[in-house]
Every structure is written in structure tokens, then in C-alpha cells.
């Protein structure tokens, strides 16, 4: 699990209130990890702190990358992986004058500090869940000091909440799955995790089961309402969200991971 989920207590689960707190905590942890993986590892919001770095213009070192061009009437530029010809006179503006790309999706900005001093939140915004845009005529530092410790001189840091908010229905399905894990731990006969019957002959005692390998390959749990939510949010059974790599994009900002 990359980010914690706020899983509610399951409804219609009689054994939940009588279960040991440690057992419930373990059941929620298991159910959250399973639902995170089965829904394609796409949900969860974490607070992260990164050190962005602006990218200078390749021609003269004075402009901002992806913001301004000057010169001939037809100026080629690269926008989101596609080349365009910009019909300009002296100058062409296709983006904000000052912005930096953050690894998104950006849900909210907690704080932006430069040299340990917080930047006024009214002087910046977020576009397209990834671009931190400076307003009011000022710009972000062109070169951030990566050698100094957090809060030091010339250190530029952005603390923000990154990720996709977990849908309420996914949280509720996670709670249902946690209930089934508690039932299994308590040897409750109503536990549905081991129920993989696809056909039954009562008098002839003929049962047919779905193999565990098939369930894993399909990304299902065997609990019908939980599997309905999995199919709704991950119908193609993806293991993780698709990613696009391009040499035309800015490098992701640096993030301290230890200590």
C-alpha cells in the first residue's frame, strides 16, 4: 500500500463488534492491500515533500522552458508529446510564464517554502493536477540548492497531497472484505471467501468450483458485491495505471526518501 485508506466499519457484520481490535486491524490491512491491488493501484492520497527544479531555455538561458519563444514567424514547439508550429510575430505565449511540473495528480498544496520561508498561498495555483503556477509577476527559483538540508538557504520545497481520492464505494467494499477476513479468523461458517461454487447437484452431491488460480487471474475475491466494485473501477483487470514516458517532459522533482 502506497497511501493509507480511511476504511469505515462494515455494515451488516455481526461478528465485527465482538472481534478483537488487533484482529480487526489486521483484517482491514489485508482487505485494503487486496482492494488497492485489484482496483489497479490507482487510489490513495499521500502527503509528500519534493524539491522541484526549473529548466532553463536551451537557446539563451534566459527564458522559461515551455513558456516563451521569440524570433521567426513560424516557431516549432513541443506540447504534450506533439510538435506544433506557432505563428508568432515577436513573441508567442502558450503557457504560463512561470510554472513547474509536479508528479501528480496533485490534490492540494500543503505548503511551499523557499529558504525556509512559506510562500503566500494566494500567489500560486495548480493547473491540470500537475502544474504549480506562480502568479503576481514573481517566479520560482531557477536553480534550487540540492545540497543543503530541509529549510536551509536556497532550498525550495513543495509539500502537497498526491494521488487519487478513494471512491466511497471502494472503501465500503473494502470494509465488506475485511468482515469476511474476520469471519475466516473466527471460523465463521458464513465466510464467503472460500465459496467458489459455480454449479451444484444436491441429491447427486455434484459440486463444481472455480480454481483459486482462475480467481487470482481474474482479480476477484469471490465476494459478489466486492467483485462488482472491482469490475466497475478496473474492468480491464489492469495491474497498475498506464504510464507514458517521453523525453520531452520535465524531470520529476527530487524527493528525499531517507531519513
Close Cβ partners of 190 (under 8 Å, ≥ 6 residues apart) = 183
- Would you say 253 and 51 are in contact if contact means Cβ atoms under 8 Å apart? yes
pTM: 0.74
Band (56; pLDDT cuts 50, 70, 90): very low
Q: Return the pLDDT at 55.
A: 59
What is the DSSP secondary-structure string of the chain?
A: --S---PPPPSS-TTTTTS-HHHHHHHHHHHHHHHHHHTTS--EEEEEEEB----B-TTTSSSBTTTEEESSSEEEEEETTEEEEEE-SSEEE-S-SSEEE-SS-EEEEEEEEETTEEPPGGGEEEETTTEEEE-TT----SS--SSSPTT-TT-EEEEEEEEEPPPHHHHHHHHHHHHHHHHHHTT-TT--TT--EEEEETTTTEEEE--HHHHHHHT--S-HHHHHHHHHH-TT--SS------TTSPPPPB-----
- Per-residue pLDDT tens digits for 155-199: 899 999 999 999 999 999 999 999 999 998 898 888 887 655 545
Looking at every residue in the chain, the average pLDDT score rounds to: 80
Contact by Cβ (8 Å): 200, 212: no
Q: What is the mean pLDDT of residues 214-237?
A: 84
What percent of the chain has pLDDT above 70? 71
Beta bridge partners, 100, equal 132
Q: List CB contacts of 120: < 8 A, sequence separation 6 or more.
A: none
Question: pLDDT tens across 188-197, in order?
Answer: 888 887 655 5
Amino acid at each position: 500500500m502506497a497511501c493509507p485508506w480511511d476504511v469505515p466499519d462494515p455494515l451488516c457484520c455481526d461478528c465485527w463488534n465482538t472481534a478483537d481490535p488487533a484482529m480487526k486491524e489486521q483484517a482491514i490491512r489485508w482487505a485494503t492491500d487486496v482492494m488497492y491491488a485489484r482496483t489497479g493501484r490507482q487510489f490513495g492520497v499521500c502527503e509528500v515533500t519534493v524539491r522541484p527544479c526549473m529548466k532553463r531555455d536551451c537557446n539563451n538561458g534566459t527564458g522559461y522552458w515551455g513558456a516563451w519563444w521569440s524570433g521567426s514567424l513560424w516557431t516549432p514547439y513541443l506540447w504534450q508529446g506533439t510538435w506544433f508550429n506557432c505563428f508568432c510575430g515577436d513573441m508567442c505565449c502558450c503557457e504560463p510564464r512561470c510554472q513547474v511540473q509536479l508528479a501528480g495528480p496533485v490534490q492540494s498544496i500543503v505548503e511551499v517554502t523557499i529558504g525556509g520561508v512559506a510562500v503566500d498561498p494566494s500567489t500560486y495555483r495548480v493547473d491540470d493536477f500537475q502544474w504549480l503556477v506562480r502568479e503576481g509577476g514573481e517566479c520560482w527559483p531557477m536553480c534550487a540548492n540540492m545540497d543543503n538540508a530541509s529549510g536551509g538557504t536556497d532550498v525550495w520545497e513543495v509539500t502537497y497531497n498526491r494521488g487519487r481520492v478513494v471512491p466511497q464505494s471502494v472503501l465500503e467494499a473494502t470494509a465488506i472484505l475485511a468482515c469476511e477476513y474476520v469471519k475466516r479468523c473466527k471460523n465463521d461458517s458464513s465466510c464467503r471467501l472460500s465459496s467458489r461454487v459455480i454449479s451444484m447437484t444436491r441429491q447427486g452431491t455434484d459440486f463444481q468450483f472455480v480454481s483459486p488460480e482462475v480467481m487470482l487471474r481474474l482479480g476477484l475475491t469471490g465476494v459478489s458485491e466486492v467483485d462488482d466494485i472491482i469490475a466497475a473501477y478496473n474492468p480491464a483487470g489492469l495491474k497498475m495505471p498506464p504510464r507514458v514516458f517521453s523525453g520531452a517532459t520535465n524531470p520529476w522533482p527530487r524527493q528525499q526518501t531517507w531519513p
